[in-house]
Amino acid sequence: MSENQCLYVDVKKDDKTFRFYSVHLQSIRFDPDDYRYLNNISQQGDKSELSSAKRLGSKLKTAFLKRSEQVFKIKKQAATCSYPYIISGDFNDTPTSFAVNQMCIGLKNAFVEKGSGLGRTYNGNFPNYQIDYIMASPQFEVKSYHVVEKKLSDHYPVCSDLVLK
């Protein structure tokens, strides 16, 4: 079972049409015990029980594999789209991950184009880095990108001005 989704809408403005995908890819699904384990390691340097480490490793592996599958499905669907498109949302993965790099193929990453710094979008304890993205097909020009550092949820909103050429 997955709670993840990918929705899209076709938007028509004057004589131009584009597709906007909103995605939420698989999370690692850490529970309170996982956070306690990670906290103990980082604060005390404890050598924790092997079962906790295996449990975390299994969750990470499952999430990495699931996100990869989800990215391939989204890319396959987007390849059938005759319009320029934007893919935006919670990828639950780092900029150097397989899933993010696969999604980037053939697209402009708004952060890479116009962002600066670390681009941190998750405001929880772990992970504390960029996991939310805005990507656009080459027909778009990326004019700006920024992260709104307001705690409206466990993610900071990301904004980008995109112009369809």
State residue 131's pLDDT score: 92
- pLDDT over 70 (residue 122): yes
User: Tokens 């789209």 identify what position?
Assistant: 81
Q: Are 85 and 23 in contact (CB under 8 A)?
A: no
Domain interval for residue 33: 5-164
Q: Are 66 and 6 in contact (CB under 8 A)?
A: no
Q: What is the dihedral of CA 59, 62, 68, 72, to 10 degrees?
A: -140
- pLDDT over 90 (residue 68): yes
Q: How far apart are CA 8 and CA 132, in angstroms?
A: 17
Q: Are 55 and 34 in contact (CB under 8 A)?
A: yes
What are the tens digits of pLDDT across the range 10-66? Answer: 999 999 999 999 999 987 756 666 666 666 665 554 455 667 777 777 888 888 899
What are the tens digits of pLDDT across the range 71-105? Answer: 999 999 999 999 999 999 999 999 999 999 999 99
Question: How, if at all, do strands 85-90 and 16-24 pair?
Answer: parallel
Number of domains in the chain: 1
Question: How, if at all, do strands 85-90 and 108-109 pair?
Answer: unpaired
Q: What is the CATH number of the domain that holds 57?
A: 3.60.10.10
Which letter does DSSP use for residue 94 in this model? -
Q: How far apart are CA 86 and CA 81, in angstroms?
A: 11
State residue 155's pLDDT score: 87
Q: What is the dihedral of CA 102, 107, 111, 114, to 10 degrees?
A: 150
